[in-house]
Structure 1
């Protein structure tokens, strides 16, 4: 889409909305939520504003739609940030006033089930940001990850401490030395006494990295995209995505390699995969949040997922370039990516540059 536009960015001191468009988990787990709100104030200098359903479990789709309308329509609100994901934001989409959202474009930060809103805003011509939640990234025990902080600062304000380029909004993604995908029990205060454990990060894996691709991004969480496709909701004619950069990542529900392949096969049969000359695949969340998984099994899970994706690409998009284990989605650190914004994937230089 050529008419996608970047909304005006907030500045320190501005009010930003915190919404639960999917799940009201802040009501069940106030500790990471309150910590995240405080970091919005202390780290970024922003003033969070809550809405009626932000901490309400079991809120109706209409109540959540009303909160989104209020947040986008309020001229004093300069950005909208998700509290967390969930599993039924699909039911909110039909209730949203598209003209209201289009007339009041604002940066929206979210991922996981918030893929629903990212896709809708994309269709309205509004660039948003894949990644970011109050409870997970802002409410991280111990401290926010420095790479996450820098990515947030660059996306929100247009520049970063590393990789940024002044006010241009361009930002070079940097591979971390370590990463983690283990989250402690939010109901246990001891969880917040130290930062989560981490392990050495495998390098990003480049496939067919013999070209440079610059395009608008689209995609998101693979499971949520599959639901949108099944519901035939907010999916444009496949030619609308031609020349773009596909973003895909999987959640803590850990879909197995066969499931990942089948979803991608269905996207391929629809003609979607061949529209994208480049794919960025997020570092897979391999740890089960309830049953610890040994390190070798987690590595095997990621390798099996990569093989499943490559199998689908070889069948449906054999010329596509792909980069695996990029640090976005359900991982720590988490790099924000512009959704509908410009991404440059430079294979020969092994460099990914985004425009925030």
Structure 2
């Protein structure tokens, strides 16, 4: 296994790269993007640095790879943030210089399609951070969610343990970025109901891997950045979540089943499953419809676990990925899942 490196922590005043390794959506929606840049400065005391393809829709995979190389190689840049996700980052991976990035390890923040880059960094031996996109979490209308601020600040500036807590209030609804009124108030939220635990009779502590389930499935299909020896994940913590594409429960089950057939699913000792995003502009579910979607997804996950990993401890509705607020998880770092105490502690 490649030796794991935790990139150095930041201090206020540091410069951070803002790149678009997937879609150049800052070109189409400058308002949340500019708001995110502003909050990097005012909330976290960091100075964002843009690159040629950051605000360019339709940038080639080569242009996006060049931006990543420049960001990692620049000694004045101390971290790298994705502006947002997309759907074709997998085409960038073959163009990346693994040795260059290994020689200049830096914290990388992003999620969704950025699961591709997280998996690449995992295989490169660099711990990264799942969450914290500039346009969504930092560009949130009204104000950043306090739980997101706390988690992101800890990931950026501190070492050691951080206890993940269930959100008291949450939402999975989005509002139209093209409408200026969207940014006049914070999103409406609903009261949280905590986590649901399965097989919570032990303590698991292991190195994490996973991300957006749809992207993990595509990496598996392309046989790219997935360990050919599943044993490297023995005792690890798998974390997964689904996007605004809202995959069906059948698709979720089939992806997990294929992970089981590959001998991968059963290697992990614990699974953290993110709260499903159950609303989109294309499918504006009512709360009841959303609850039904979430219940069907949970049943699909439990069905796959029963077939391939019946003893795996699982925690559902963790505030990771496509939900608001969002906690940042170390990708490739250590996560402790304490079933009897009902606690999740990550190491930043």
TM-score tier by shorter-chain length is over 0.9
Tell me whether 1:302 sits opposite 2:301 in the alignment.
no
Tell me whether 1:334 sits opposite 2:290 in the alignment.
no
Corresponding residue of 2:105: 105
- Is contact 2:109–2:128 with CA below 8 Å preserved after alignment? yes
Query: Structure 1: how far apart are the matches of 2:282 and 2:177?
Result: 12
- Is contact 1:226–1:263 with CA below 8 Å preserved after alignment? yes
Corresponding residue of 2:79: 79
Query: Structure 2: how far apart are the matches of 1:290 and 1:115?
Result: 23
Corresponding residue of 2:123: 123
- Is contact 1:155–1:169 with CA below 8 Å preserved after alignment? no
Query: Structure 2: how far apart are the matches of 1:213 and 1:143?
Result: 35
Structure 1: tracts of 5 or more residues without a match? 159-167
RMSD over equivalenced CA pairs, Å: 0.8
Q: CA deviation at 1:169?
A: 2.2
Query: Structure 1: how far apart are the matches of 2:50 and 2:10?
Result: 17
Q: CA deviation at 1:290?
A: 3.5
Structure 2: tracts of 5 or more residues without a match? none
Q: How does 1:1-356 map to 2 (within 5 A)?
A: 1=1, 3-158=3-158, 168-236=159-227, 237-356=229-348
- Is contact 2:279–2:290 with CA below 8 Å preserved after alignment? yes
Q: CA deviation digits over 1:87-129, x for unaligned, max 9?
A: 0000000000000000000000010000000000010110000
Corresponding residue of 1:163: none
Q: CA deviation digits over 1:272-330, x for unaligned, max 9?
A: 01100100000000012344211000011111100100000000001100000000000
- Is contact 2:2–2:123 with CA below 8 Å preserved after alignment? no
Query: Structure 1: how far apart are the matches of 2:22 and 2:283?
Result: 25
Q: CA deviation digits over 1:240-297, x for unaligned, max 9?
A: 1111000100000100101100110011000001100100000000012344211000
- SS of 1:11's equivalent in the other structure is coil
- SS of 1:229's equivalent in the other structure is helix
Query: Structure 2: how far apart are the matches of 1:279 and 1:76?
Result: 37
Count of matched residue pairs: 347
- Is contact 1:51–1:67 with CA below 8 Å preserved after alignment? yes
Corresponding residue of 1:164: none
Structure 1 ranges of 4+ moved more than 4 A: none
Q: CA deviation at 1:2?
A: 6.9
- SS of 2:136's equivalent in the other structure is helix
Specify whether residues 204 and 8 from structure 1 end up closer, same or farther in structure 2 by C-alpha distance, changes over 3 A only.
same
Q: CA deviation digits over 1:47-99, x for unaligned, max 9?
A: 00000000000000000000000000000000000000000000000000000
